[in-house]
Structure 1
Amino acid sequence: MTIVILIFVHGLTGDYEQTWKAENAADPWPKSLLPSIITNARLLTFGYDANVIGKGQVSENGLREHAMALVNDLARVRNKTKTNERPIIFACHSLGGLLCKDALGYARDCLEERHRQINCCTRGIVFIGTPHHGSDLAPVARKLARYLGRFKQTNSAILDVLEKGSDTLSRIQRDFANMLRSRNEVSKDPSHLSPIEIVCFFEELPLDIVGTVVSKDSAIMPSSNAIGLHCNHIDMTKFDDKEDENFDRIAAELQEMCNKIAGDKTDKTDRTSLASHS
């Protein structure tokens, strides 16, 4: 019985499959490991061009364009499968967390109800190494891209949002904080939207050559549950074993969110497996 949509959003230089796949694994862990633990969720991955530096052409789309694509793609899938009122949980790595926050702001202000429902139905977000507080990450992003072997062309539209003092980052943070505050207010109004549960994971180990990509201070949101992962920024989303302690920490938080929703909602639909939308 599927009662929630769980969608994975990759980060900088990431990929809708490779970000969530260990080096020697046959499949991404949302497909190979998670379904036996979380049996009441439809698992989706969202892909977008997150290469900021590349040998060939790189997308010139900014974060807002990718956020709009996420909202449009997810709304289309929900409409097609008649699951427009299904609760949503996001799991986001790195830049994907900022994209998710911007997407929820965009969805909230949309004229189409099916787009607004994405904001209204969101019940939880797991941020994994997301740079919430905008220390000067653009140089780190360039180093990270070069570390991964990508160079020459640069998408400044993506890098700009990571700069300290970025107007775009400030807008995203301000809008998201206001939305959380409104959602988390105690209200007896039955139409009041449910709170959004937030969990933030931070990296405990540096990346070779690059160092720490997202500091603990930047990866944590005020009043959120903060959990360390004993790995670097890239490996914090790559697992091939259920016994991996880092996987267990993330899976446990996702499972807890799904269980809380299960206590509130019992709609009966068929369980489906991993799908990808880019």
Structure 2
Amino acid sequence: MAQPSLQPIGIQQLHRPTEPAEVDIVAVHGLNGDALKTFTHEDSEVLWLRDLLPTYIKTARVLSWGYNSNANTLRGRATSADRILEHARTLVEDLQSDRELENATERPIIFVCHSLGGIVVKKALTFSSWQTSPKCARLHTIYTCTYGILFFGTPHNGSSKAKPLHTAQKLASALIPRQGAVFESGLVRALKEGSETLEMITSEFAPLMPRFRIFLFWEEQRTGLKYTKDYIVTSDSAAPAVEDSERCGIPADHRGMCKFQDVNSPRFRTVLAALKRYSSAAPTVIKSRVAQNADIAASWYQTI
């Protein structure tokens, strides 16, 4: 189970079922994350998306999407905190292209997001929802086919509306190596602007939320920082009051909340049960949405 030395970029297929796939489960990591390591238990090297999940959901194709999410100057990497829209657009194109090659453009999608990966997914779905012109309609299918989203420690509102910069700095410092990391002044500037960016993304995504099944998870343990321990994303930010959403705490810190060693790991069965429910219900719902979109498109073409 050794991991590659280079950060995986783009769509990584972790599991393809032997029987026809009925759903795509797509994981997206967050700031300073990795498509594989973010979801891999450090001690056992169990990548639960690959090593555990397929045993219980046999008709799911499991993917993870990697992108340059580094927020420090270590090894010369540049900040990407000010590129949420670019990441969102790339996610939509990467995922849609992969599904086209797999002849799976009508297959339901369930996203599993850690931390700022959830912000990228929210922006990606908003962007996809806007792509309705004939030349871009292929990208609209990501929005059409998304059934559910599991958010692990996503800072939907920041720690508090008064301290978005402090929250983001904690988030970044918690997820990079303890030694040798140097924050760019550009990152700080981007995070200062980030409060307005987060508010805009949340505002744009809010009207779309009733369309999706949503599960919100928050961290129940403080993360070790340089001189102290703290919650990186507080429960009120990770699990805001959203109508018809499910919510649950996970007894781990921000780094460890989306890593599971075995089926008996705390809250893994809760996560697994949610994915099974969503995977079971998604095909019927998405089939109806795809048919409805086809009727709308046909009517549109008749008017031109």
TM band (smaller chain): 0.7 to 0.9
Contact 1:201 1:226 in 2 (8 A): yes
C-alpha separation between the residues in 2 aligned to 1:264 and 1:153?
45
Deviation per CA, 1:67-89: give whole Å up to 9, x if none: 11111100110111111111111
**Match of residue 42, structure 1, among 42, 61, 69:** 61
Partner of 2:260: 239
**Match of residue 37, structure 2, among 15, 18, 21:** 18
**Match of residue 253, structure 1, among 274, 284, 298:** 274
C-alpha separation between the residues in 2 aligned to 1:261 and 1:70?
21
Report deviation, 1:6.
Answer: 0.5
Partner of 2:221: 205
Name the stretch that deviates more: 254-263 or 27-36.
254-263
- Provide the TM-score with structure 2 as the length reference: 0.77
Report deviation, 1:244.
Answer: 1.0
SS in 2 for 1:237: coil
Q: Looking at CA atoms only, which structure, 1 or 2, has the larger radius of gyration?
A: 2
Contact 2:22 2:108 in 1 (8 A): yes
Name the stretch that deviates more: 8-17 or 52-61.
52-61
**Match of residue 140, structure 1, among 164, 167, 170:** 170
The verdict on how the C-alpha distance between 1:143 and 1:157 changes in structure 2, with shifts beyond 3 A counting, is: closer
- Provide the TM-score with structure 1 as the length reference: 0.84
SS in 1 for 2:267: helix
Contact 2:72 2:79 in 1 (8 A): no
The aligned length equals 252
RCO higher in structure (CA 8 A, sep ≥6): 1
- Report whether the alignment pairs 1:30 with 2:44: no
SS in 1 for 2:223: coil
Gaps of 5+ in 1: 185-194, 267-278
- Report whether the alignment pairs 1:151 with 2:172: no
Code of the residue aligned with 1:199 in structure 2: it is F
The residue correspondences of 1:125-204 to structure 2 (distance < 5 A) are 125-135=149-159, 136=164, 137-145=167-175, 148-149=178-179, 151-154=181-184, 156=186, 160=190, 163=192, 166-180=195-209, 184=210, 195-204=211-220
SS in 2 for 1:6: strand
Report deviation, 1:249.
Answer: 1.6
The verdict on how the C-alpha distance between 1:150 and 1:88 changes in structure 2, with shifts beyond 3 A counting, is: farther
Partner of 2:143: 119
Contact 2:152 2:217 in 1 (8 A): yes
Report deviation, 1:58.
Answer: 2.0
SS in 1 for 2:75: coil
Partner of 1:8: 27
